[in-house]
Structure 1
Amino acid sequence: MLELYNGPLDVDVIFSKWRKWADVKNYGAYITFVGTVREEDGIEALSFDVYEPILNSWFNEWQERAKKKGAYLKMAHSVGDVPVHTSSYMAAVFSPKRRVALEMIEEFVEDFKARAPIWKYDVIEGKRVYARDRSTKISGSGILKI
């Protein structure tokens, strides 16, 4: 399940919802990753734009990988502004056994950083500035040449 939220994530509410879901499904292990906006370089917040069609496709590929291992993925991400010390990203892997969940969460989070179509901006003095130095070019993106 992929969830997008406007503004910062309510980590407690999302985690509680996911935990209750895992209990009903009888998963023995679930590993959660939470990304929080750090105060650095004078930013007030980060701001995110998301291209949902490609994000959904990318996430569905990962869900199929997880399914083959008997696991399930959940992810929540912010759209728009997320102030410092609040969360913009949560991911979790649910599995009957811990080893699958432990291995998959690392792979998933790293691939998310490299391939998810989410663009990050610094918010400084109320203005969005593209965070080029902390962004990763998505493979295959760019201007088409004919």
Structure 2
Amino acid sequence: MDHVKLVQDPIDITHIHQLLADEGCGASSVFVGTTRDNFQGKKVVSLAYEAYDNMALKEMKKICSDLRLKWPELKHIVIYHRLGTVPVCEASVVIATSSPHRSEALESVSFAIDQLKTRVPIWKKEIYEGDHISEWKENKESFRPKVSKCL
């Protein structure tokens, strides 16, 4: 089963593990991307995410389909991405899979995060310490044209 969501509240990792549970699976792999407190010498206090919700969800579902084509033994796939403000040490994105064997679970999660960063219309703004300084960041993995944001 595929579980795809954009959420405003903190992501519950225990709930993710429950979604992955299956008697026929011997492996679960979970990637948790968290807000770190620094970027290129600047102190980061939080990240802010925005998305084109409908298109983002549609593309996240396509990623699940791609995973199932490449690794047909996958049982459960979870892709959750947080929107809004995400403080340091909190999860921005969780991608998880379960399968009978570890190689499919590990490889599929790595593939999925790379695909999410290149294909899904979610934008990130880093908020730095001091005088409310912030900067919209472009995914280096993305080949889409740069998007400008005015706030």
How far off is 1:79 after superposition? 0.8
The reply to whether residue 93 of structure 1 matches residue 97 of structure 2 is: yes
How far apart are 1:126 and its partner, in Å? 3.8
For 1:77 and 1:33, how far apart are their aligned partners in 2? 12
Cα shift at 1:135: 5.2
Offset of residue 3 of structure 1: 1.9
Instruction: Tell me: CA distance 1:96–1:84, structure 2 relative to 1, closer, same or farther (3 Å).
Output: same
Moved beyond 6 Å, runs of 4+: none
Match of 1:106 among 105, 110, 124: 110
Amino acid at match of 1:49: E
User: Percent of aligned pairs with the same residue?
Assistant: 21
Query: How many residues align structurally?
Result: 138
- With structure 1 as the length reference, what TM-score do the two structures score? 0.79
Give unpaired runs (5+ residues) of structure 2.
none
> Structure 1 pair 135/103, CA: closer, same or farther in 2 (3 Å)?
closer
What's the TM-score once normalised by structure 2's chain length? 0.77
CA 113–2 in structure 1, closer or farther in 2 if over 3 Å, else same: same
CA shift, 1:24, in A, is 4.3
Alignment root-mean-square deviation, CA: 2.5
The yes-or-no answer on 1:77 pairing with 2:81 is yes
Distance (Å, rounded) in 2 between the aligned partners of 1:135 and 1:22:
30
Q: 63-72 or 51-60, which moves further after superposition?
A: 63-72
Which segments of 5 or more consecutive residues in structure 1 lack a partner in the other structure?
A: none
**Matched residue SS, 1:43:** strand
Q: Is the 8 A contact 2:51 2:123 kept in 1?
A: yes
Distance 1:109 1:60, change over 3 A: same
The within-5 A match list for 1:1-146 is 1-7=3-9, 9-10=10-11, 14-24=12-22, 26-40=24-38, 41-68=42-69, 69-71=72-74, 72-124=76-128, 125-126=131-132, 128-132=134-138, 137-139=142-144
- Partners of 2:142 and 2:114 lie apart in 1 by 14
